[in-house]
Chains A and B, each alone.
Chain A
Amino acid sequence: MPPSIHPVDLISALRQKHLTPAIVFLTSRRACDEAMEAFDHANFVLPTTRQEAIAKALEQVMAHHPSIAEHPMIPIVQRIGVAAHHAGHLPTWKIAIEELMRQGHLDAVFATTTLAAGVDFPARTVVITQSSIRKSRDFTDLTAGEVQQIAGRAGRRGKDHVGFAVITPSPYIDLSVLTKGLTGQPEAIDSQFTISYPMVLNLLKAHPHEHIQGILAKSFAQFQLNQRAEVLEQKLDALHIKMEPFGPRVCTDWITQWHTFDHARRHRHTRHPTYRAEPPEISARLPFLTPGRVVGFSRGRGVVLRQYRSKGQKNSMLTVLRPESAVTECPVTSVKEVYDRTYDCPETSTYPWCSTDTFDRLSHQLEELPLRLPLLPILASTDSEPLPDAIVQSLEDFSCPTCPSRSACQKDFLTASRLRQEQQRHTKSIQALRTSLWHRFQERVEVLQKFGYLTLTTQLTAEGEWARLIRIDHSLLITELIRAEAFTGADPSLLAGILASLAHDDDRPGAFPRISPGLSSLLGQVRKLAESLSPDEDPPLLRADVAALVERWVADQTLTWIGLCRLTTMAEGDIYRLLARTLEYLSQVQTLKGTHPGLAESASQAIAAIRRGVLEELP
């Protein structure tokens, strides 16, 4: 069986069941183009009346958009009534295909999922061949929301009684992702709020520093953080009730008191017999190497079964349960790591120093341990929680041994201290949820102060005043380049080339053979600066080929669109988007007329030079 249905068979099957017009979603642009090529040798021709209708409709579109007149796909679209539609095409060609579809001239369109949002492009049937899509450089499973947006294109209001979403398998398919997506609830929206440098500058331009926290609090991000905090607060309330039986006793803070006492007591017991012979870092470990403790050796891990010291032996020894239920004896010094993990292990007086049930359970638990375990922070100090010296020294100072609530304290201590820890953890999390945005903001402020865009009193400096007008990605790099005078004297084509390399965040391969020495050295400077800024801002891709391409388009006014496309392996649609995005970046630089007239002028010239041919032709 073929891994997926042949495009010609697919369209024939849809036609035969009257399921056309259809949109066939494929994984990639290449898949769309190949699907079209599959019709080359097929005996698949529309009746002449329909071919003529397509030709006529295309002519109308051409009146507005002459650039599609020579489009190489026109003959085949006309012959078979099927087209491809993806981001590699020029916007004008996509408009033409959309128009043909809207007027009902096409039976099917092969498309990528970039078609999914908004554009009015309905059909009777949607064919789904994939369960994941390419999103910024990687493939991810479709969300329920996306599956529903894609499937939702089926069934046109006023033109269909019913819409059909047909799944046909390909090697890229996980059926359960699609069935769950079709039958499930769309995902909840989760705030993606981030605090950028321009945001900080613009906020501080318009509002005093002390108002900012209130403004950030209005974000959906904070709204959702508050929702989470409220859940935790409810848990905290519940914990409060659970803590009631463990309120003040003879001591107000009996939990800490008992903890300290208990600690001091154990400490003394274990320390005394062994303290003399061992170096401090070893002896510090001994109190923790109790039965049930998980430890690491240079090879593998084990669970301590017993600690002992043989007569005449210098080192303290351990009996350890190792993987596959092996029991070994080893000196304490061979323990490389002591983990923050213990298992219940009541000691018995004979080998293997615990009951067989315990032994079996421990063997099992040892196998199930996660790869990474937290370490006990022992080496830093002799105690996990440093105790005041006075307390450690005189155990007799504690009133616990004779206290009337001693047995109650002893009995409740574990539960009470666990509850209290949980309380503390929740309180901390709530605190963090309420203030995290503000902290993020402060971090950004500090960076902007470091670079001199903000004063220590968070006023905008002269530099900050213009820098806030650059509201695009990599704003810090761009403003730092301007301050470093990197663009001074650079002509419009160089400026456009550099901004193009900043604006282009796609890593689809493209190639361009030559790059001018001027651009190459400037790009080197940009790269260096980007690297030095990388602790404070993620560096852009800075592709030399796209920089060179845009430089050429701006510098050489005789270059035609077709000529430009021949210079690179990039798809037309990508070149178009690259230039459109470069225009956006240039128009931001253009707003700096007041402070950087030369640069702004250069940007204006570049803008004028970019806008020609196809780029002038939009609806």
Chain B
Amino acid sequence: MTTDELEQLLAQQPVAVLHRLARGRVQRHFRAGKRRLIELLLQHSAQNRAGFESDLLTLIGERQAGPTSGSRPRHETPPIAHKKAASRSSDSEPSEPPISLTEWLQGIGVPAPQPFVQDPWQIEALAAVNETDVVISVPTGSGKTYVAIEAARRAMEDNRSVIYTSPLKALSNTKYAEFSKIFGPDKVGILTGDRQENGQAPLLVMTTEILRNLLYDAASGEIDVRLDTLGLVILDESQYLADPERGVVWEETIIFCPSQARLLLLSASIGNPQDIADWLTSIRATPCRLVRHSKRTVPLRAGYLHPNGKLTPLFRTLGIPQGHPGHLHPEAKHLFMEYEEETLPSGRPRR
């Protein structure tokens, strides 16, 4: 497609399609008018034109296949009275009564101290990282650091060196302090854009950019860092792969990571961890193992606090109803509608 053809094709699409395309591509796209949106999309697509075009064609294809109820533009939804009936059929509300605030608040408190027992996924990940590259995708606060530490310990006991990278300098600093406490200060070094300490230590903490630079220098045969003894590369917070500006650094690092070193990718929950694992399998020497789960270790409940101080559960159920954003607690729903009515400037459409 030429740019003109692409522009014309975009112009023929309803705004809803453009907004779907703009998601993740254009900042604040919902504020832009159609013409501006097309401009922004064209600008953005310059980097990855083919991908953009195929997304567009897929969306057009989907639309031609017939509009699904989910992707209907908002203004087509029937008025409230019908909506209830409609939503009952598609996203049926549970028949149990909504939970009460007292039930919702039950169980607050501090658990009795317990001996440390590895989680099954931690055992699985540690076993796998002995043999091959591993991608871990588990919710925030699950205990990925434990896996990183144990894997690093084993590699170092084997006389192989370890590199741990994080996307943030603050996090690198924290981990440097944490690892120094665990392994001893002489075993740990740090390299960031503005800080170099103990660069010959067997466990090096760095930002991902620094590792990428090391790998480039090594590829052109001009550095001293012992990449041949490198046994393990840990990339923490690797969901940064999706960062518009810095994601490319993670790709470069993974592409150029020496083949004898194991890769350990730690990531919060993401939508397509299997893709990441399949990608690694396709470019690395051994098939990558994926360790994933989405169950939080400490259960989460959601609540709604009204500006007048009234607290209610947000959903009808105690836990968060996965896949059912509509299962709101009637009280929260009522209070929020009241809030919108009172605070929205008149004329602005209510959702």
Contact = CB atoms under 8 A, between A and B. Distances in A.
Interface in B242-269: 242-245, 247-248, 251-252, 254-255, 268-269
A159 B241 CA distance: 32
Contacts of B242: 187, 189-190, 192
A24 to B, nearest CB: 11
B121 interface: no
A9 interface: yes
Interface in B102-134: 105, 107-111, 113-114
A429 B53 contact: yes
Interface stretch (B136-144, B150-158, B226-234): B136-144
Nearest to B29: A140
B48 A189 contact: no
A425 to B, nearest CB: 8
Contacts of B270: 145, 186-189
Nearest to A181: B325
A118 B166 contact: yes
B309 A174 contact: no
B276 interface: yes
B16 interface: no
Interface in A142-156: 143, 145, 148-149, 151-156
A189 B135 CA distance: 14
B269 A165 contact: no
A148 B300 CA distance: 10
A370 interface: yes
A373 B11 contact: yes
A205 B218 CA distance: 11
A155 B141 contact: yes
A215 B252 CA distance: 10
Contacts of A94: 170
A218 B57 CA distance: 25
B20 interface: no
B314 A152 contact: no
A113 to B, nearest CB: 13
B300 A152 contact: yes
B311 A580 contact: no
Interface stretch (B82-90, B92-100, B316-324): B316-324
A501 B49 CA distance: 31
B302 interface: yes
A10 interface: yes
Contact of A138 (B27, B247, B324): B27
Contacts of A18: 105, 108-109
A10 B327 CA distance: 25
Interface residues of B, number: 113
Contact of A436 (B12, B48, B55): B48
A236 to B, nearest CB: 12
Given A148-B269, A167-B314, A1 B307 contact: yes
Interface stretch (A220-228, A243-251, A296-304, A412-420): A220-228
A206 interface: yes
Given A168-B304, A169-B339, A372 B139 contact: no
A587 B49 contact: no
Contacts of A583: 193-194
Contacts of B255: 215, 218-219
A388 interface: no
Contact of A145 (B51, B53, B239, B300): B239
Contact of A206 (B176, B216, B239, B299): B216
B140 A135 contact: no
B336 A183 contact: no
A489 interface: no
A36 B275 CA distance: 44
A187 B275 contact: no
A371 B305 contact: no
Contacts of A174: 351
A50 interface: no
Given A1-B308, A138-B27, A183-B321, A119 B174 contact: yes
Given A148-B140, A584-B193, A164 B351 contact: no
A194 to B, nearest CB: 5
Contact of B252 (A137, A189, A199, A371): A199
A162 B325 contact: no
Contact of B216 (A119, A165, A471): A471
A31 interface: no
A294 to B, nearest CB: 12
Counting chain B CB atoms within 10 Å of each CB, which of A9, A118, A175, A225 scores highest? A118
Contact of B108 (A161, A223, A229): A161
Contacts of A120: 174
B303 A118 contact: no
B351 A13 contact: no
A208 interface: no
A584 B143 CA distance: 32
A191 B241 contact: yes
B328 interface: yes
B282 A223 contact: yes
B224 to A, nearest CB: 14
A188 B272 contact: yes
Contact of B305 (A5, A117, A205): A5
B187 interface: no
Contacts of B55: 228
B140 A119 contact: no
B325 A189 contact: no
A162 B307 contact: no
B76 interface: no
B190 to A, nearest CB: 10
Contact of B304 (A1, A166, A207, A219): A166
Contacts of A190: 24, 242
A485 B36 CA distance: 40
A202 B216 contact: yes
A548 to B, nearest CB: 21
B186 interface: no
A224 B275 contact: yes
Nearest to A192: B247
Contacts of B212: 471
Contacts of B325: 176, 179-180, 182-184
A357 B25 CA distance: 43
A19 interface: yes
Nearest to B169: A580
A153 B53 contact: no
Given A118-B166, A179-B328, A429-B54, A471 B213 contact: yes
Given A94-B170, A157-B298, A429-B54, 16 more contacts: A3-B343, A5-B309, A18-B108, A119-B171, A137-B27, A160-B109, A161-B110, A166-B305, A167-B314, A175-B336, A184-B323, A187-B270, A194-B47, A205-B216, A218-B282, A580-B194
The 5 A-B residue pairs whose C-beta atoms are closest, nearest first, are A152-B140, A155-B298, A584-B193, A372-B11, A192-B247
10 contacts: A1-B307, A5-B306, A94-B170, A135-B27, A139-B28, A179-B314, A184-B323, A206-B216, A370-B12, A429-B53
